[in-house]
Structure 1
Amino acid sequence: MDEDEVVEAVATEKNSIVDGRNKAESAASNTVAETAERQKKKQNFIVRTIWTLVMIAGFFALMFAGHVWMIALVALIQTLTFREVVQIASEPSLDKQLPFTKALNWYYLATTVFFLNGESVLYYFQNIVFVDKYFVTFAVHHRFISYCLYLMGFVFFVMSLQKGHYRFQFTQFCITHMTLLLVVGQAYFVIRNILNGMYWFFLPASLVITNDIFAYLCGMAFGRTPLTQLSPKKTVEGFIGAWFFTVLIGIGLSEILSRYQYMICPVTDLSANAFSGLHCVPNTVFVDHTYAIPQYLRNLLHRETFVARPIQLHTIILATFASLIAPFGGFFASGLKRTFHIKDFGNTIPGHGGITDRMDCQFLMGFFAFMYYDTFISDRHLTASVLLQQAVKQLTAEQQLELLAGLSRYLVVSERIPDTAFSCIENFIPEHLRSWDYLR
C-alpha cells in the first residue's frame, strides 16, 4: 500500500467516525425531541381532561341552579364567541390607528342583544311588561328603538371611514355582521329553548356532544374514507357510525329526561331551580302513547301494539340533524380558520382552544331545535297575555276602555264578578260607551 492509499484510508476512517458521531448526535437529538413531544402531549391531555371535568361539573351546577343561570351562561358564551370571531381578522397596528373599530363591534353586539333579548322579555313576560307603566312604552316601541340604535351605529361607521383603510374597515364590518347573524342570532333561539323548557336546551346540546364523541371513536375503529378536505381526520365511516349511536343514546336520554317536570316544563318562574321544581301539565309528546304495529310485523313480533312517548320519535329527527347537518357548522368553522391560517379561534379554554372551537355545532343545533319545537311540538294557544299584548299595542285608549266595558259587563252577566264591581269600573268608562244597549 503506497502513501496515497494510506492517506485515503485514514481520511475515510475519519469521515466514517465523524458520520457516526453525527448520526449518534442526530439520533440523540431526535430522541430528546420525541420525548419532549410525548411530554407535551401528555401534559396537554391532562390539562384537557381536567378542564373537561370542570366544564361538565360547572354545566350541571348551573343547570340545577335554575334557568336564569343557564341563560347567563349562553349570554357569556355568545359574547366570548363574538369576541373570538371578530378578532381573527384584526390587525393590531390598524386597530391602534382606528380606535373606533372595536368600539363599533361591541356597540353592534349591544344593540343586537337589546333587540333580541327585548323580544324574549316581551314574549315570555307579557303579563308583567304590559301592565307596568314603566315598561309599557318600551314594549310598544321596542323594535323602533332598536332600529334607531342600529342606525346610529351605521351612520357612525360611515363617518369613521378613513382613506387607505377601507378594505380593513369593511372587512371588520362584514365579519361583525356575519357573526351577529350566525352566533348572536342563533344564541337568541338557544335562550328561547331554555325558556320553553330545559329539555329543549339540554337534549340538543347532549346530542351534539354524543355525536362528536362517537364520530371520533367510530373513525378511529373503522375510518377509511375521508369525508371532507376541511377536516381530513373526519371519515364517512365515523360520520355514519356516530349517527347510529347518537340516535340510540338520544332515545334513551329522552326517556329519562321526560320523567322530570323540571326538564320539560316551560318557564313560569325564573327563580325556580331543580330543588324548588316546576309543575305543569306536560305537553302530550311527553306522555305515553299506544301505537299500532303494522300488520306485516305483528306475526314477527307477536304483538299488535307498543307503548312509547312521542318525544322519542321526535328525538330520532333531532339526533339525525345533530349527526348529519350540525357537524357542518364545525366544517364551516374549520374553513374559516384555514382562511385566516389559524389553528384555534383562541385559548379561552386551556387544552381545548377557544369557545368557538367547542360551540361551532351547538349554535346551529340550537336554532334547529327551536324551529322544530315551534313547528311540531309547541301546544301554545291564544292566551290572556297574548290578548293583552295585542290590546296594548294595537288598540287606542278608547278602544281599550270599550274592551274593558264589554268584558266587565260579560263577567257580571255570567256572575263571575258582582254588580258592584262593574259599577266601580263604569265610573271610568266614557258616557257614550256606557250608553250602549249591551252594557245596560
Structure 2
Amino acid sequence: MARPRKDVKFQHRGSGSKARRPSASMSEISENASEPGSPTSQSRNGSLTTSQNDPPSAPPQSEYEKKKANFITRTIWTFIMIGGFFWAMFAGHIYIIIVVTAVQIISFKEVIAIANVPSRARSLRFTKSLNWYFLGTFMYFLYGESIIYYFKHVLLVDRILLPLATHHRFISFMLYIIGFVFFVGSLQKGHYRFQFTQFAWTHMALFLIVGQAHFVINNIFEGMIWFFLPVAMVITNDIWAYLCGITFGRTPLIKISPKKTWEGFLGAWFFTIVFAIGLTSVMIRYNYFICPVNDLGANIWTGLECRPNPVFVPRNYTLPVPLPAWTHLPSTFSIAPVQFHVFVLATFASLIAPFGGFFASGLKRTFKIKDFGDSIPGHGGMTDRMDCQFIMGSIAFMYYSSFIAIHQASVGSIIEAAITGLTPEEQMEVVKGLSRHLINQDVISPKVLEYLTGELKMR
C-alpha cells in the first residue's frame, strides 16, 4: 500500500457527504484557477496552495450597482436607437425600409432560437438552414409583391425584370416547394414529432413577424405618416400606461402580465389620443410625410410632390345642435378628416396593440425565459421592443386600405393591363392614340407621331 502524502489536505463537509462527480469538480477547479485573484491554485503535484502573486479579488457588485449600470446602459442605447431611427426616417424611405428589414430578421432569429436549442441537442441536420431558407423565400415573395405593386411602371418596361415581375408568384411558390421537399427529405426516424413541431414553429414565426413586417413596409410606401404615426402612438401608449399605472393603478388588467392595470390601460388611451391628434396636425403640413413614395431617392430636404389625399385637407364642420350663447364657442369648426381616423388608430394602439405584448409575455412564460435575447444591451431582445409594433403596423395598413386609400387608375396599372392584355399591334395603337392626344394638347411635337408611323411602315 502506498503511503499517503502529508502535504495533501481534504476538507470534508461531514461523514454523510457524497463524493462529487469528477467532471463537476474538475470544471469548478479549472474555473477557479483561471479567475484572476483566485485564492487557490492547483500545483502540479496535486497540492492546493495559496497564490502569492495574484492581486486581491474585486468585491462583488451590489444589487444597487448592478441596477445602476443596467440603467446607464439602457439609457445610452435608448438614445442611440432614437437617434438612428430619426436619421433613417429623414434620410429617405429606403433607409427606413432597411431598418425595418433588419428588425424583422433579428426578431425572427430570436424567436427561432428558442426552439433551436433542442434541435442541436438532438443533432438534427439542416434544421437551422431550413429556417433561414424559408425566411429568405418568404421575404422574396412579400417584398416582391410590394415592389411590383408600387413600381410596376418601372419593372414592366424593363426587358430583364419583366419576366420576374409577371411570374413572381409562381417563382416564389416553386422556391417554397423546394424547401418543403427538402424538409420532408430531412425527416429522421425517431424525431418525426419534434421535426414537425419545428416546421410549425418556423411558419408561426414567419406569419407573426415577417408577414406583419410586410404591412409595415407597405405603410412606408403609402406615406411616411402611416409608418411613423402608429410607431409613435405605440411608444407613447407604453410610456403613459407605465406612468398612469404607477401613479394611480390599482386594478390588475390581465393575469399574464400582472403589472398592467386597468387605470394605466385607460389613462394611456386618453393621453395617446391627445398626442396623436397633436402630432398629426404637424405632420400633415409636410408633403414628405403625406405623399406616397414615387422616388426612393427622396429625403426630408428634397421632399416629395403629389396631390394630397383629401383626408389631409381641412373641411368645415357644423355641429348638429348649436352650442348655447353663453359658452362663446363656435358651432362651426375646421378640421382635417384625418383627425377622425387618427382617433380610431389611437384607440387601436391603446386597446388592441398591447395584446401583442401580452402574447409575447405568454410565449416567454411558456419557455421560462425573461427576454427573447440580448440584441439590444440593457433592453433585452429586439422582439421584446417590437412585439406591439408589428401588430399595430398590420392594423394601420388594414385600416388605411379600407377607409383612407384612394383606389384609382395608376400609370403602373395601365401599363400592366396593356402589356398583359393587348397584342403588340394593339399596344402600338394605344401609343399612337396617346400621341395624338398629347399633340392636340401641345405637349409633344407632331414629329413624334410621324416617327412612330414611319417605324410601323418599315416593319
Alignment TM-score > 0.5, same fold: yes
1:225 paired to 2:232: no
Work out the CA distance in 2 between the residues paired with 1:316 and 1:57. 28
Structure 1 residue corresponding to 2:308, chosen from 282, 292, 297: 282
Percent identity (aligned): 57
| Counterparts in 2 of 1:411 and 1:248: CA distance versus 1, 3 Å | closer
1:91 paired to 2:117: yes
Q: Would you say the 8 A contact 1:104–1:153 is kept in 2?
A: yes
Work out the CA distance in 1 between the residues paired with 2:276 and 2:186. 51
Residue 19 of structure 1 is matched in structure 2 by: none
Work out the CA distance in 2 between the residues paired with 1:198 and 1:415. 36
Out of 226-235 and 40-49, give the one that drifted further. 40-49
Aligned residue runs from structure 1 range 83-122, under 5 A = 83-91=109-117, 94=120, 97-122=123-148
| Counterparts in 2 of 1:301 and 1:396: CA distance versus 1, 3 Å | farther
Q: Which amino acid aligns with 1:336?
A: L
Structure 2 residue corresponding to 1:272, chosen from 281, 292, 298: 298
The structural deviation recorded for 1:224 is 1.0
Q: Would you say the 8 A contact 2:116–2:128 is kept in 1?
A: no
| Counterparts in 2 of 1:54 and 1:420: CA distance versus 1, 3 Å | closer
The structural deviation recorded for 1:344 is 0.6
Work out the CA distance in 1 between the residues paired with 2:430 and 2:324. 58
Q: Would you say the 8 A contact 1:189–1:367 is kept in 2?
A: yes
Secondary structure, in 3 states, of the residue corresponding to 2:166?
helix
Aligned residue runs from structure 1 range 32-431, under 5 A = 36-91=62-117, 94=120, 97-297=123-323, 299=325, 300=327, 302-404=329-431, 406-408=433-435, 420-426=447-453
| Counterparts in 2 of 1:229 and 1:396: CA distance versus 1, 3 Å | farther
Secondary structure, in 3 states, of the residue corresponding to 1:307?
strand
Work out the CA distance in 2 between the residues paired with 1:108 and 1:419. 54
Work out the CA distance in 2 between the residues paired with 1:426 and 1:186. 50
Work out the CA distance in 2 between the residues paired with 1:288 and 1:406. 39
Q: Which amino acid aligns with 2:332?
A: T
| Counterparts in 2 of 1:115 and 1:395: CA distance versus 1, 3 Å | farther
Q: Deviations 1:197-250 (Å, cap 9, x if unpaired)?
A: 111111100000000000001110111111111101011111111101100111
Out of 257-266 and 51-60, give the one that drifted further. 257-266
Residue 5 of structure 1 is matched in structure 2 by: none
Work out the CA distance in 2 between the residues paired with 1:355 and 1:157. 28
Work out the CA distance in 1 between the residues paired with 2:457 and 2:399. 47
The structural deviation recorded for 1:395 is 3.4
The structural deviation recorded for 1:117 is 0.8
Number of residue-to-residue matches in the alignment? 400
Q: Would you say the 8 A contact 1:405–1:429 is kept in 2?
A: no
Residue 25 of structure 2 is matched in structure 1 by: none
Q: Which runs of 5+ in 1 are unaligned?
A: 1-31, 435-440
Q: Would you say the 8 A contact 2:318–2:331 is kept in 1?
A: yes
Secondary structure, in 3 states, of the residue corresponding to 1:147?
helix
| RMSD value, Cα | 2.3
Work out the CA distance in 2 between the residues paired with 1:83 and 1:182. 13
Secondary structure, in 3 states, of the residue corresponding to 2:323?
helix
The structural deviation recorded for 1:349 is 0.5
Q: What is the TM-score normalised by the length of structure 1? A: 0.85
Q: Deviations 1:115-172 (Å, cap 9, x if unpaired)?
A: 1111111111122111111111111111111111111101110111111122221121
The structural deviation recorded for 1:393 is 2.9
Q: Would you say the 8 A contact 1:62–1:70 is kept in 2?
A: yes
| Counterparts in 2 of 1:67 and 1:413: CA distance versus 1, 3 Å | closer
Q: Would you say the 8 A contact 1:247–1:319 is kept in 2?
A: yes
Secondary structure, in 3 states, of the residue corresponding to 1:234?
strand
| Counterparts in 2 of 1:290 and 1:220: CA distance versus 1, 3 Å | same
| Counterparts in 2 of 1:195 and 1:226: CA distance versus 1, 3 Å | same
